[in-house]
Amino acid sequence: MSQENKFADGLYFNEPHENAPEFVLGNISVNVEQFAQFLKEQEVDDKGYLKLSILRSKKTNKPYIVIDTWKPEKRDTEHSSAPVEENTEEITDDTIENVPF
């Protein structure tokens, strides 16, 4: 990520205990008061969601949760106003036989 990470206050991800079954990916702990305040301060997307990512620290190898700030680049939706030329060439057996593939 090119931006500085914004941590999700009051929300913590913990890896599973060493004796946990294989299907357990981890546990999430929530400090309800702290997380509720954090949520009130955040901007949501047009559908009302706040996206979060679980990442792993390069230094400590521990997982942590941050706000996912990635947004797709807006594409230029303008189309060329030049008319499309119609191909009027007749396709014959000779044309098909000369196709290079």
Q: pLDDT tens digits for 14-54?
A: 999 999 999 999 999 999 999 999 999 999 988 999 999 99
Q: Which residues have a Cβ under 8 Å from the Cβ of 79 and sit 6 or more positions away?
A: none
Return the pLDDT at 1: 43
pTM, full prediction = 0.61
Residue 38: strand, helix, or coil: helix
**Closest to 39 measured CA to CA, from 50, 31, 29, 47:** 50
CA 37, 40, 44, 46 torsion: positive or negative?
positive
Task: Return the closest-CA partner of residue 53 out of 21, 11, 95.
Answer: 11
- Rounded CA gap, 42 and 16, in Å? 29
